[in-house]
Amino acid sequence: MSLKSKSISSKSSLNEDERLKKISPLRVLLNRPELGALGGSILVFIFFGIVAGDTGMFSAYGMLNFLDVSANLGIIAIAAAMLMIGGEFDLSIGSMIGFAGICIAIPAIYWGWPLWMSIVFAFAMAVLVGYFNGIMVVKTGLPSFIVTLAMLFILRGLTLAITRLITGRTQVPGLRVLIEDDPLAWLFATDTFKWFFTWLGSLKLIELRTDGTPLATGIPPSVIWFIALTLFATWILMKTRYGNWIFASGGDKVGATNVGVPVGRVKISLFIGTAVASTIFACIQVLDAGSADTMRGTLKELEAIAAAVVGGCLLTGGYGSAIGAAFGAIIFGTVSMGIFYTDVDTDWFKVFLGAMMLIAVVFNNYIRKKVTESK
């Protein structure tokens, strides 16, 4: 599944099978898993460009707004996509977000830990949860759907119970003051390219506040993480041995094991990946809001899976792409924000989300048949 296709050795053209037709570049493109999501993204932009083009949705501020939402979803969607390619699901993503949030907030606020230490603690817990999910699935052979559904309830319950036990409430505010001068928090809480936006503002190219500072202050950290993770995941999938193992583990567990792929290790690491991505999501949101909420991340696992599916991942594993999932997230993020700029009631967003997923699944199914079509 390399991106480019090459014609091979000249001598082989002698015994060419006359029943084979040349594959057009379009067909090659059609075989790429991310095509659907890419096309969908373009359609969504065209749609909002026409419907909401003059409403401020495509101002710098508006764009950063929907990019931020897309990027947040994208961070978990990419990890979910990689796990799906590896043949498993993680339904505990949303609960892990809530859990990671209080893992940061409670030590920092109530136990007096420095913020960076609570962040490290949250990531350590994420590795543990992911490892537990993975080892349960690999060792018991149970469907990951069930194992991680159990984890969904366990983590959400733990989050609520522990928070109420320690704080007596379900929210832990007061983090914002800790961010400054923290050696780690800036990774999740700093807008970048501020100078660029200031410069644009000084040229009056973007909207300004009444005090003269630009409305859009910089690229939010979520977007940077999102781009970095998309590139990293794509590099892993397409360019490394481990990436090949992910496809193999999801495509045919038995076959992969027979030729020496450490399927168990691959799957466990992918579960750790989704839990860690959830924690990145939690860090960004908690530090942005300045507080942790026990219900944060609810239903995010389903949105992440939906984005991955729209991005071309097969539910049965072995096929998909990180770029596809990224575009899937962009579609959902853009529509969920864009709908505010139109006259359409926001209630329709869920209808759109569901319909989009159905279309994607039908489309993916068709593509899979095409890809594996015997001659």
Partner 1 sequence: MSDYLVQFNNISKFFGKVIALKDVTMRLKKGEIMCLLGDNGAGKSTLIKTLAGVHKPDEGEIIFEDNKIVFDSPKDALDIGIGTVYQDLALVPLMSVTRNFFMGREPQKGIPFLKTFDVEKANKIAADRMGQIGIDVRDPSQAVGTMSGGERQCLAISRAIYFGAKVLVLDEPTSALGVHQASMVLKYIVKAASEGLAVILITHNVHHAYPVGNSFTVLNRGKSMGTFQKKDISREKLLSMMAGGEELDKLEVELQEMDRIHNKN
In the complex, least distance from residue 267 CB atom to partner 1, rounded to whole angstroms: 15
Q: Note whether 88 and 293 are within 8 A (CB).
A: no
CB neighbour list of residue 235: distance below 8 Å, 6 or more residues apart? none
Contact 313, 81 (CB under 8 A): yes
Q: Which is nearer to partner 1, 37 or 356 (CB)?
A: 37
Question: Taking CB under 8 A as the rule, which mask of x and - marks residues 236-275 in contact with partner 1?
Answer: --xxxx-xxx-xx--xx-xxx-xxxx--------------
Q: Is residue 9 near partner 1 by the rule CB under 8 A?
A: yes
Of 212, 260, 237, whose CA–CA distance to 313 is shortest? Answer: 237
CB 30 within 8 A of CB 367: yes
CB of 372 to partner 1, least distance (A): 3
How far apart are the C-alpha atoms of 33 and 185, rounded to whole Å? 36
Binders of partner 1: how many residues, by CB under 8 A? 44
Do residues 338 and 52 lie in contact, with contact meaning Cβ atoms separated by under 8 Å? yes
The yes or no reply on residue 26 touching partner 1 (CB under 8 A) is no
Question: From residue 286 to residue 325, what is the string marking binding to partner 1 with x (rule CB under 8 A)?
Answer: ----------------------------x---xx------
Tell me which residue has tokens 């990946």.
273
Q: How far is CA 126 from CA 80, 147, 270, in A?
A: 15, 16, 12
Q: What would the x/- binding string for partner 1 be over residues 121 to 160, using CB under 8 A?
A: ----------------------------------------
The reply on whether position 24 binds partner 1 by CB under 8 A is no
> 3-class DSSP state for residue 169?
coil
Q: Which residues within the stretch 356-375 sit at the binding site for partner 1 (CB under 8 A)?
A: 368, 371-375
Instruction: Looking at residues 325 to 344 of the shown chain, list those that interact with partner 1 (rule: CB under 8 A).
Output: none
For residues 154, 159, 163, 169, the Cα torsion angle rounded to the nearest 10 degrees is -100
Residues at the contact surface with partner 1, assessed by CB under 8 A? 1-2, 4-9, 11-13, 15-17, 20, 23, 31, 238-241, 243-245, 247-248, 251-252, 254-256, 258-261, 314, 318-319, 368, 371-375
